[in-house]
Amino acid sequence: MSSNYHTKFFVMAHFMIFFLFLSFFQSSANDDNSPSIICKNTPFPNFCKSMLPTTGNYSNVYDYGRFSIQKSLSTVHKFISIVQKYLRRSKNLTIPTIGAFKDCYVLADLNKDYLSTTFKTDLQTLLSAILTNTQTCLDGLQEINSTSFDPRSLRSDILTPLINDTKLHSISLALFTKGWVPKDKQ
């Protein structure tokens, strides 16, 4: 009889501990419910606040994290379209410029795949890879000699959006890390 009592007590104690942890994680996720609070610990707080919605069904870091990852995917699709537009005009571009755009296309297509078909367990690694891919593309484009087209066009069409995409992907990584990655693995 005594061991049966201890077993029930042991099981009940574990359930209580589980529910305490669960309520702790839910309350910590709900405490950080405004973009200004959530964005405070991202690499680009002002950019983060400007791109997160202030209305809608966004109540915690998980909701905003999902939103930012969806926005990252959307910007990757837009960037691929821009690069394709430049590649269609490739007869007017130098060989190094075409190479830089082709590299960017391949890297952006990888980013699209990473964001479209990933699992939670891989997402932190893949968001880091997306940042590396985006930075590699940016570096390649900044190295090209822009004699084959207007440098202002390169800046407004490609470089500025790519810099903003890098910020967005950084914010997505920060929000994912805050919302899903255990503190000892951050």
Q: What is the pLDDT of residues 40-76, one digit of tens each?
A: 989 999 999 999 998 888 888 989 999 999 999 999 9
CATH of span 34-185: 1.20.140.40
The answer to whether 180 and 123 are in contact (CB under 8 A) is: yes
Cβ atoms of 170 and 42 within 8 Å: the answer is yes
pLDDT single digits (tens) 129-147: 999 999 999 998 888 755 5
At 182, the pLDDT band (50, 70, 90 cuts) reads low
Residue 17 has which token pair? Answer: 């501990």
**Domain parsing of the chain, residue ranges:** 1-31, 34-185
For the chain, the first-to-last Cα distance in angstroms comes to 46
The answer to whether residue 15 scores a pLDDT higher than 60 is no
Higher pLDDT, 63 or 148: 63
Residue 18 has pLDDT above 70, yes or no: no
Quick check: 83 pLDDT over 60? yes
Q: Are 173 and 55 in contact (CB under 8 A)?
A: no
Is the pLDDT confidence value at 30 over 70?
no
Q: What pTM did the predictor assign? A: 0.75
